[in-house]
Amino acid sequence: MAHEPQGGEEMTEEVKQLTWEEKRTLDKIVDSVEDPTHQKILLLQLAQKQYGSLRDEHMRYLAEKIGTSYTDLYGIATFYHQFNLDPPGRHTISVCMGTGCHVKGAKRLMKKFQDILAIKVNGTTKDGRFSLKSVRCLGCCGLGPVIMIDEETFGRVRTAQLEGIMEKFE
């Protein structure tokens, strides 16, 4: 879990811990954005795409690079649901919340996953085993409600089946 924003001293320490490769990759991301100061969401999207989540030290580095504060980027990252501050789990559970699945009980599945895993949407379990995502139409509405775990699709899923389905994903 990302930490609350701290003082400037810690920022520098965290940034120092980045590898040369990470800095180079983040530099390239900044360079690829036309106006990073005014396109912070895009900047964060690209960083998340590269690393699977928005890590504190990366946001601190990006903030220094574009001349803003870590708190500024952290605020954006926590405001928009698309951003994930936790490192991705070993397995990603995607629950389809498209209309076709919604009418067949997708909301109940999502609630049950949240209860079992004790996380919210876009969260990752403490043991790093699962991340939970909400997705739009997986293209097999006739099988609704549909979930995916990593690349495997499960259709007509009932809440009572969820724990059994998760068992094989260690």
Where does this chain bind ligand FES (CB under 6 A)?
96, 98-101, 137-141, 144, 146
Nearer to ligand FES, 88 or 105 (CB): 105
Nearest Cα residue to 133 out of 110, 154, 116: 110
Residue closer to ligand FES (CB basis): 45 or 153: 153
* Shortest distance in whole angstroms from residue 99 CB to ligand FES: 6
Token pair for 60: 């601190």
Least distance CB 97 / ligand FES (angstroms): 8
Residues linked to residue 133 through DSSP beta bridges, in sequence order: 94
Instruction: Decide whether 77 or 96 has the Cβ nearer to ligand FES.
Output: 96
Q: In b/e form, how buried is each residue of 40-64, taking b as 16+ CB within 10 angstroms?
A: beebbbbbbeebebbbbbbbbbbbe
Min dist CB 109 to ligand FES, Å, is 11
